[in-house]
Amino acid sequence: MEHRKERIDRGIKARTEDIYALFSYREMLYLLVPRVIPILVLFLVTLLVGVYWQKVLISTAVFALLALSWDLLTAAGMVSLGQALFFGVGAYITGILNHYFNLSPLFTIPIATVGGGVVCTLLLLPVLRLRGIYFAMVTLALPLMLVRIIEATKIFGGTEGLSGLAGLPSTRFELYLSLIAVLAVLFFFRRLINTDYGLVLRGIRDNDRSVMRSGINIYWFKAQALFMASAVGAFAGALMTHVYMFVGMPVFEMDYSILPIASAVVGGMGTFAGPMLGAFILVPLSEALRGVGGLRIVIYGLFLVIFTVALPEGIFHYFQRKYHQFERWVKVEK
Amino acid sequence: MFQGTLIYGFVNSVTLALIALGFNLTFGISGVANFAYGALYILAAYTAWILLTWLKINYFLSIVLAVIFTSFIGGLIYRFILLRVRGMPISEVIASFGIGLAILEFFRFLGFVGSEYTLPVFIDGSVSLGGTYIDVQRLLIVGIGIALVIFLWLFTHYTKTGLAFRGMAQEERTALILGINSDKMATLSLAFGSGLAGVAAITILPLGQVAIEGGYSALLNALAVCIVGGLGSTVGVLVAAVLIGFAQTFTATYIGSHWMMIVSLVAILVILIFKPSGLFGKQKELEERI
């Protein structure tokens, strides 16, 4: 090993970090390009593709929402193995409100978002007192057990589910609603995690004892993070219910738990943009891989293993590094 | 009726204990929550089935081979994958869960679904136990379960490897000072845990059929028993298995078999509210460690 790789921030990165971002158009472009171009490309794509791929994009956006919600939980030190819980609870609340009370989507979606957040937070409240794998264990168990409860008690349509629910005006409306929701959540979370509030959340992940020592009630903060994450998940479920005009036991399926995690791991945890990028890679990919059928989940599983072990930073971190820094080989001083 | 419920409740308890022992052993020693546990459980059963049906190997021999194969796979998983992410709980959970998922869904992809995937019982027939008929296989589960617990106790108290295991479990750094190779021990602990999963699968599954869903429910049962008993505590596992086992059987008999699954969930939630470290969670600083 004669040489080592040195990474240095680009000058322009340092210049754009403060008020100096307003120096010239070049600095402003440097900040704007990575944010605006993907959004423009995304909306251009929605104009160009047919109805089938529009549907695929809707489900991509739904998975992206779940991945974002997963990433927020992970940022606060809670690893969820059951995003299907949030998704399913939101979906069922929407279905029930629409089927039994005939409320229109205008009311069901907001109620399900908030209600789903509250229900999931209450369900997981006992687990918040413990760290790490306990949370993972219980979130893994809950959706699988809720399915059994619905199957056993035959409530809410039992195995048949509730069908014939109200739909949204048009596919295009559904598409834009879901994409705008994804972008709103993305920018909200990215901003949130860099505030003092977000610092507390990240502190809980890194060393919760020292956060407690600072006189902060970590359980209250964890509960808030959990509420935000589960509300986002529940919104995804509510949206999907109105898109399919059906809600049933499949909403608790493994897919809704695994794909968001796989997206986050592939895209890069902790950045929010990474999980979203991951979702926009994996979901269309799995749509294209429809031919292999059951092998899909196997591939996700292997993705999880390979990326956590071999490329733990994920795709987004890689691009971010290339964008902000330049690399050169320097001689190792003996 | 009541006596029968008691007997079946006891059998159910031993079944749960058998399922949970391996998971608990691995976690107690190496601190790795092996989320591939359910997959290894099913892997053992399918391996035995393949050896028995396709290769026409003697049943007893194929059982032994299946258990050895499973523990070998468990060791490999640790050596080549989990070792690299050791100490990072998030990555450990995701990686082991990914492995489990890949194994289980790969069997589904290969078409291992259906009623022909059953393992034969060891000894056919049933005996009457004070008026309750019970098949010999269930008695064997109880026998093997008790034998395993005694074997584990002897193993961890009187062999060098077993003592090293306990040393690792109590204080890893001190164990390192005393010349215990913690990576090797952790690999062994995963192999041991996986082997126990294999033994459990091969004793329990002849009663039903081998199915992919069995893997997920085995993992859930193991988690429930371990959380209620206190992660890493063998006494806790046994007590929790008895509690949950009887609760499940009584629920199934007097309320309805559909509600059986909910028992373990309720048990988890109740225990987390009142005693988060579990009934016998030995580490008082468990909250800090996990």
Prediction pTM value = 0.85
- Residue B231 to chain A, least CA–CA distance (Å): 10
In chain A, which ranges are E strands? 3-9, 162-163, 246-247, 325-331
CB environment A98-119: b (16+ within 10 A), e (fewer):
bbeeebebeebbebbbebbbbb
Q: What distances in angstroms separate CA A288 from CA A52, A56, A57, A179, A292, one per listed residue?
A: 12, 10, 13, 21, 9
Give the per-residue pLDDT at B289.
40
> How many other CB atoms are there within 10 angstroms of residue A90's CB atom?
35
* Distant-in-sequence, close-in-space partners of B126: CB < 8 Å, separation ≥ 6: B133, B134, B135, B136
Interface test with B, best of A208, A255, A305 (most B CBs within 10 A): A305
Alpha helices per DSSP H over B159-208: 160-170, 172-177, 182-204
Averaged pLDDT, B232-255 = 85
Under 8 Å between Cβ of B74 and B41: no
For a pLDDT cut of 90, what percent of chain B falls above it?
Answer: 11
List the single residue in B84, B223, B272 with the smallest CB-CB distance to A127: B272
Q: Do A141 and B265 touch (CB under 8 A)?
A: yes
- At residue A11, does pLDDT exceed 60? yes
List the single residue in A81, A133, A300 with the smallest CB-CB distance to B290: A133
A162 closest CA partner among A99, A101, A214? A99
Supply the ipTM of this predicted assembly.
Answer: 0.79
CB environment B50-63: b (16+ within 10 A), e (fewer):
ebbeeeebeeeebb
CA distance A247 to A95: 6
Ranked by mean pLDDT, which of A64-78, A252-266, A297-311, B109-123 comes out on top? A64-78
**DSSP label at residue A179:** H
Q: Do A294 and B33 touch (CB under 8 A)?
A: no
The per-residue pLDDT for range A84-100, each reduced to its tens digit, is 999 999 999 998 898 88
Q: Which residue has the tokens 């399926």?
A: A253
Domain count, chain A: 1
For a pLDDT cut of 70, what percent of chain A falls above it?
Answer: 99
* Distant-in-sequence, close-in-space partners of A162: CB < 8 Å, separation ≥ 6: A95, A96, A98, A99, A156, A246, A247, A248
Ranked by mean pLDDT, which of B58-62, B131-135, B273-277 comes out on top? B58-62
Q: Do A81 and B35 touch (CB under 8 A)?
A: yes
Bridge-based pairing of strands A325-331 and A3-9 is antiparallel
**What is the extent of the structural domain holding A127?**
3-331
The per-residue pLDDT for range A19-61, each reduced to its tens digit, is 877 878 888 888 888 888 989 998 898 888 888 888 889 989 9
Averaged pLDDT, A231-252 = 89
Q: Where are the domains of chain B?
A: 2-289
CATH topology of domain B2-289: ABC transporter involved in vitamin B12 uptake, BtuC (1.10.3470)
Residues of A in contact with B288 (CB under 8 A): 209
- Residue A304 to chain B, least CA–CA distance (Å): 5
Under 8 Å between Cβ of B36 and B106: no
- At residue B284, does pLDDT exceed 90? no
3-state secondary structure of B225: helix
Give the per-residue pLDDT at A132.
66
The per-residue pLDDT for range B160-194, each reduced to its tens digit, is 888 888 888 888 888 889 888 888 888 998 998 99
- Proportion of chain B in helix, strand, coil states, percent, rounded to 5: 75, 5, 20
Bridge-based pairing of strands A325-331 and A246-247 is unpaired
Residues of A in contact with B97 (CB under 8 A): 81, 140, 304
Give the per-residue pLDDT at B283.
52
Size of interface A-B (CB pairs under 8 A): 131
- At residue B288, does pLDDT exceed 60? no
Alpha helices per DSSP H over A76-170: 83-101, 105-124, 133-153
Give the per-residue pLDDT at B4.
79
A175 closest CA partner among A224, A124, A243? A243
Q: What distances in angstroms separate CA B27 from CA A221, B90, B94, B212, B219, one per listed residue?
A: 29, 15, 16, 24, 13
| Chain A contacts to B (CB-CB under 8 A) | 74, 79, 81, 126-127, 129-134, 136-138, 140-142, 144-145, 148-149, 151-153, 209, 254, 258, 261, 265, 293-295, 297-298, 300-305, 308-309, 312
Under 8 Å between Cβ of A244 and A164: no
Residues of B in contact with A136 (CB under 8 A): 33, 35, 93
Q: Which residue has the tokens 């322009």?
A: A12
Q: Do B101 and A81 touch (CB under 8 A)?
A: no
- At residue A142, does pLDDT exceed 80? yes
CA distance A77 to B268: 21
Under 8 Å between Cβ of A111 and A117: no
CA distance A245 to A240: 8
Interface test with A, best of B265, B275, B286 (most A CBs within 10 A): B265
